[in-house]
Chains A and B, each alone.
Chain A
Amino acid sequence: MADAHRTVYIVDDDPAMRHSLAWLIGALGVPVETFASGEAFLGVIRPDRPGCLVTDVRMPGMSGLELQDTLARCGSLLSVIVISGHADVPMAARAFRAGAVDVIEKPFNDQVLLDRVHEALEKSTRAAAVQARKAHIQARLARLTPRERQVAELVVAGKPNKVIAAEINLSPKTVEVHRHNVMEKLEVGSVADLTRLLIETD
């Protein structure tokens, strides 16, 4: 699982460049996959997979920036490094706005590239972890009934059981039962824990 999160994907239309990049980055000991075009890559990759994408800007068909945009739109966890033969400022700005880790101009220093790849993998891994935790919390929140969800939010708002009972026209006893169920379903032991969890999901 950890390996899968550290995969480096390479998209370049030039076979030699593609192959040589794979060889160089492969020296890091991470899995490397190569694609001849953005279209080919999009046909294979799943948005929720983390990893590092190294793409050339100028390619026949979809360009590197278009690929980057497309990935961002579908919430990809991939960290993107853009390589360009002749980068200009507007292009670099666009790449960075779309969340690129770096824009590297050819010819590049191999160490810089490898550092950036490493960095990108870390970033992607972190993003994946955040994403995973969010997903876990969401899953627990999904277990609550609407009334329990309502009670949980009022508890986090700092209101005592009597006030809650009065606001939602329930008996204090019933409110107490819902509150207990919430703590149980969300696997939290204190109001403070409950409060942090709900904030994380926002």
Chain B
Amino acid sequence: MRTMPRPSRSTLAGVLVALWAGLGMADTAAAEPPIRVGVLAYRGGDHANAAWEPTVRYLAERFPDRGAEMVPLDLPGMDAAVRDRTLDFVLTNTGNYVELEARYGVTRVATLHSSRAGASGASIGSTIIVRAERTDIRDLADIKGRTVLAGDPDAFGGFQIAWGEMLKAGVDPYRDLKELRFSGFPVDRVAFAVRDGTADAGVLRACLLEELAAEGRLDPARFRVLAPKTMPGFDCAVSTDLYPDWPLARLASTPEDLAKAVVVALFEMPADHPAAKAAGYEGWTVPLDYQSVHALFRSLRIGPYRHLREVSLVELAREHWEWLAVGVLALLWWAIHSLRVEHLIKVRTAELRTANRDLVHEMAERRRAQEDARERQKEMDHVARLSILGEMASNLAHELNQPLGAIANYARGCTRRLEAGTGNPDQLLEVTRAIAEQADRAGQIIARIRNFVRKRPSQLEPIDVNDAIRAAVALCEGQARNGNVPIVLSLAGDLPPVPADRVQIEQVVLNLVKNALDAMAETVPGAAEDAGRKVTVSSARDGEGRVEVAVADHGHGLSEEARSRLFDPYFTTKAGGMGLGLSICRSIVETHGGHLRATDNPGGGVVMRFVLPVANGALPSGEEQQHHG
């Protein structure tokens, strides 16, 4: 409804002062608008007219030039009128005044002096009533869980003062009651409802009960006042403290002089003036202190303190700051903890990732190193085999010369007979067969050598150790023959298969046999009949079921130094030896899960023994008969 921009207060005041001054100077000159007095019609417009119209008429009589006009307003109407400055004064109840004061800056200029006012001049309170016979409700705390009826939530004496009193008694009417109802105006209905039992308790403006009784509308004996208080000089039954009565307030826009004049006029009203009688007061007095009202409203969080209700979280925080502090601290701690944990997790994750990367790297390194080692071992084995074969080259050549020489002899013998024409077909047939046999024999020798020196990855497969022994010994036959040292085989027939690399085992046996032959070669050749002049190669199962191979010689034996350094790489007692043979033999045997050791031969010389574990679940074959030795 605001059609004009609101003029600033100073401008407006200036204009009004000018107007007033103008009026004062030219008394008869202008038709000034009547003084407008807004009156809260809490019991309806008729009642307001009846109660306050005489007072306004009194003012009109005191200001004949202007006159006065009464404007009955309900609560929202009052708010709107003050906001729009369509009034000069307001006559309203205490609660409404406090709100208008806070919201629009209205200022009380006089307070009504009630005929029933106590010594302090305050005369507004609440009376909480129950039916006289309700012995179950003794004091305010007993109204918990009851039905309570009040006039209006905005009624100051009719509800709000009682509300404050209830809170003091530990009862929140909005929470702790079974039901809180409001009768609306006229508030007389509250008393009737309590009387009729439709409500357990009722809230009345103080003195209303007495007024209704005086009017003869109800019997006060049928009611009992809860938590009655005795106020000096106050006649009515009351359950609460007393608060100041209705004030007359001027608006901020109302001229000072007018306000003063009106106050003077009111103060001058005699106590027996009809206007006072009509409204039931004894006149007007200086404005009372409304601070207690503010305190009440603040505790109830209503009126100008409604915002407290809306920002109750802040209030809550203020009231329970310790808990809040603890909560905030906990939250802070949690946040810091979370951050810390997060950070730690990040750090640890990074560490783990690094460690993992390192590990993967290391594993790759190790795998590579293992492959390198395997590769080197393979090379080493190969070199060792080449080396031992190189040492045996002349013997091997001799070995190969045998079949080749035989072939040449056969062939030339044939040639001569054929040239001479003396060839006997049967003989020739026999001899050509012999030639083929010897060629095969030569081929086998070459194949053995090639198999032995071929560079190849080691592969484990079940092998008959006796086969490996025979192959190795075959390569040594030449040397044995030349050195005139027979190799005697003593092979067990019931050996289980051993998971092993055939060539490597062959290499080990070859090394041991060759060493034995070399050891024997260095001894003085004795008589041909010397029974000890031989190398014995035997195979057997040891006590634990493993396969044991022993190579025994009758050579010079081992010196202490040789015994202690037997398996050291590059240690050798031979002029042309590389010293790798036994070291490689031992690594081969140990790779196969066995071990190699040297012992003295009781008859002189050395016995080299190695054992190889048998494949799990291997059964002795026991069928193959050996024909060696």
State the A residues within 8 Å of B (CB). Answer: 13-14, 16-17, 19-21, 23-27, 29, 58-63, 66, 85-86, 106-108, 110
Contact = CB atoms under 8 A, between A and B. Distances in A.
A151 to B, nearest CB: 52
Contact of A17 (B402, B486, B528): B402
Contact of B486 (A60, A66, A107): A60
Given A27-B417, A107-B408, A20 B482 contact: no
24 contacts: A13-B481, A14-B402, A16-B434, A16-B437, A16-B438, A17-B402, A19-B406, A20-B407, A20-B408, A20-B409, A23-B414, A24-B416, A27-B413, A27-B416, A27-B417, A60-B481, A60-B486, A61-B528, A63-B528, A85-B482, A108-B405, A110-B408, A110-B412, A110-B416
Contacts of A16: 402-403, 406, 434, 437-438, 441
A16 B444 CA distance: 15
A58 B482 CA distance: 6
B409 A110 contact: yes
Interface in B525-574: 528-529
Judged by DSSP, the binding face of B is helix
A60 B484 contact: yes
B404 interface: yes
B406 A17 contact: yes
A20 B437 contact: no
Interface in B379-422: 394, 398, 401-410, 412-414, 416-417, 420, 422
B482 to A, nearest CB: 5
Most B Cβ at <10 Å: residue of A61, A85, A108: A85
Nearest to A13: B481
B91 to A, nearest CB: 152
B429 to A, nearest CB: 12
A24 B412 contact: yes
Contact of A59 (B403, B406, B410, B484): B484
Interface residues of B, number: 31
A85 B401 contact: yes
Given A16-B406, A24-B409, A27-B422, 18 more contacts: A17-B402, A17-B405, A17-B409, A20-B405, A20-B408, A20-B409, A23-B410, A23-B414, A24-B416, A29-B422, A59-B481, A59-B484, A60-B484, A61-B484, A85-B482, A107-B408, A110-B408, A110-B409
B401 A107 contact: yes
Contacts of A24: 409-410, 412-413, 416
A20 B406 contact: yes
B413 A26 contact: yes
B17 interface: no
Nearest to B420: A27
A192 to B, nearest CB: 48
Contacts of A20: 405-410, 413, 434, 438
A29 B405 CA distance: 21
B445 to A, nearest CB: 13
Nearest to A60: B486
A23 B481 contact: no
Contacts of B414: 23
Contacts of A13: 481
A23 B398 contact: no
A73 to B, nearest CB: 16
Contacts of A63: 484, 528
Nearest to B414: A23
B16 interface: no
Interface in B179-211: none
A3 to B, nearest CB: 16
Contacts of A60: 481, 484, 486, 528
B434 A58 contact: no
B413 A23 contact: yes
A113 to B, nearest CB: 9
Nearest to A58: B482
B431 interface: yes
A26 B401 CA distance: 21
Contacts of B486: 60
Contacts of B437: 16
A118 B427 CA distance: 23
B410 A106 contact: no
A39 to B, nearest CB: 8
Nearest to B525: A63
Top-10 shortest CB links A-B: A20-B409, A27-B416, A16-B406, A24-B413, A23-B413, A20-B406, A110-B412, A24-B409, A61-B528, A85-B398
Given A16-B437, A58-B482, A106 B405 contact: yes
Contacts of B528: 60-63, 66
Nearest to B417: A27
B398 A14 contact: no
A17 B528 CA distance: 22
Contacts of B420: 27
Given A29-B422, A61-B528, A85-B401, A21 B484 contact: no
A24 B416 CA distance: 8
Contacts of B405: 17, 20, 106-108
A66 B408 CA distance: 27
B524 to A, nearest CB: 14
B489 to A, nearest CB: 15
A63 to B, nearest CB: 7
B481 A58 contact: yes
Interface string B96-119: 000000000000000000000000
Contacts of A110: 408-409, 412, 416
Contacts of A59: 481, 484
A16 to B, nearest CB: 4
B431 to A, nearest CB: 6
Nearest to B431: A23
Nearest to B398: A85
